[in-house]
Chains A and B, each alone.
Chain A
Amino acid sequence: MSTIVFDGVSHSFGDRRVLRDLSLTLTERRIGIVGANGSGKSTLVRLINGLVTPDAGTVTVDGLLVAKNAREVRRRVGFIFTNPDNQIVMPTVEEDVAFSLRKRGLSAAEIAGRTREALDRFGLSAHAAHPAHRLSGGQKQLLALAAVLVGEPRVVVADEPTTLLDARNSRRIADLFRAMTQQVIVVTHQLDLLEDFDRVICIEDGAIVADGAPAVAIDAYRALLA
C-alpha cells in the first residue's frame, strides 16, 4: 500500500477556512471519509492528487511532494469524481479508456489491447464504439472506473462515486471497490458502504473529529448529525 501523509495542512477559499492544521498518515487499504456537507471532504481528497494545493503544510504520496511532482503523483493516484459526465472526456467509450494510456510510451496495439481488457472487465465491451453520452448513469460511472483502472494506479480516490446512482448500481460500484487490489480512499454519505473498511475518518468544519474503526467513526458522525 502507498503511504499518504498530510502534514500541518491548512487551506482557505477566500476568507473561508476549509481545512485547519490537519495532520494524517494514510496507509490502510480501504479508507472512508465522512462528514457533513461543506465540512471539507472534497478539498481534503483533492489535495492527494494536487487538484488543490494547500495554503500551508505539505502532502506527500510515497514520499513524493504532491505540489512538486504532480504529474508523477497523478499517475499513481486515480481519481473518480461524483459526476461521471464531467469525467468522461472523449466522445466514445473506448476512446475515453484509451485516453488514460496516452503518453506512456505504449504502442497503438498495446493501447487497444489494454482498452479491450478494461472494457471487458467492466462489462462495457458491447458499447466500445458507442457515444459515451448514450450510456446510463451507472454505465457512465463504470466507464469512469474502467478509464481510471486501465492506467494501473496504486491508489484510487473517489469523491462520492455512488451519489448519483440508483441502489443497484451503487451496490455494483461498491462491490467493485471491495474487489479492488488497489488502495482505496472513498468519500461518501452512504455509510453502509464503509462497514467493512479498515479505517474511517470523520471531518467536521475542516478538522478531524473521529478516526478509527468504521463503527466508532460512523457512530461519532451520527452523533454529530443528531
Chain B
Amino acid sequence: MPIQALLAGWAPAALMAGRLLVAVALAALFTLTTTVTAVLEGFQRLLRPFGRWVDADRVGLLVAITLRCIPLVAEIVTEVLEARRARGTQGSLLALAVPVVVRSLYAADAIGEALVARGLDD
C-alpha cells in the first residue's frame, strides 16, 4: 500500500484498499453462506432458553437479512467506484460515501417492500 500511495497518490490507493476490503468481505461471505442455515439454527438453539424475552426466529431472520445485504452493498460500492472512474472524477471520501449511502437506502427500501410482499408484516 505505501508504494501504491507513493506512485499514484493517496486517492487511488484508498480506492484500492477499499476494493480489497470488499473482495475480502465477499470471499468471507462465500464461505459463510454455505453454512448460514447451520449458523441460524445454532442461534435459535442458543436463544431458546431466553424465548420469553427474545424471539429467536426474528433474531435469526435479522442476521440472515443482514448477511444478504453485505454483497448488495459491496456491489453498490463497486458500481459507484466504476461510475466515478467512467466520468474521470476523483473526489473526497465524502463524495464516495454520499452516493453509496443514498443507493443503499434505496435498496433497503426496496428490500423492505419485498419483505412485506412476501409476507413478513408481523
- Say whether B65 contacts A100, CB under 8 Å: no
- B37 contacts across to A, CB distance below 8 A: 92, 95
Q: Given contacts A70-B121, A103-B119, are A91 and B114 in contact (CB under 8 A)?
A: no
B87 close to A (CB within 8 Å)? no
A113 close to B (CB within 8 Å)? no
Number of B residues whose C-beta is below 8 Å from A?
27
B117 to chain A, nearest CB (A): 4
Q: Given contacts A49-B117, A74-B121, A131-B29, are A90 and B72 in contact (CB under 8 A)?
A: no
* Cross-chain contact of B72 among A49, A74, A129, A133 (Cβ < 8 A): A133
* Cross-chain contact of B33 among A86, A91, A148 (Cβ < 8 A): A91
B116 close to A (CB within 8 Å)? yes
- Provide the B84-122 mask, 1 if CB < 8 A to any CB of A, else 0: 000000000000000000000001001101111111111
- Say whether A51 contacts B116, CB under 8 Å: yes
- Say whether A131 contacts B111, CB under 8 Å: no
A132 close to B (CB within 8 Å)? yes
- Say whether B34 contacts A81, CB under 8 Å: no
- Provide the B68-87 mask, 1 if CB < 8 A to any CB of A, else 0: 10011001000000000000
* Cross-chain contact of B68 among A71, A90, A103 (Cβ < 8 A): A90
- Say whether B72 contacts A51, CB under 8 Å: no
Complex Cα spacing A112 to B14, Å: 45
B59 close to A (CB within 8 Å)? no
A83 close to B (CB within 8 Å)? yes
A4 to chain B, nearest CB (A): 16
- Say whether B36 contacts A103, CB under 8 Å: no
A85 close to B (CB within 8 Å)? yes
* Cross-chain contact of B36 among A79, A86, A92 (Cβ < 8 A): A92
**Besides A87-B114, A99-B118, 20 other A-B contacts (C-beta < 8 A):** A51-B113, A70-B121, A74-B117, A74-B119, A79-B118, A81-B110, A81-B117, A86-B107, A86-B114, A89-B114, A89-B120, A90-B65, A90-B68, A91-B32, A91-B68, A102-B119, A130-B33, A133-B72, A133-B75, A134-B30
A residues sitting closer than 8 Å to B (CB atoms) are: 49, 51, 70-71, 74-75, 79, 81, 83, 85-92, 95, 99-100, 102-103, 129-134, 147-148, 151
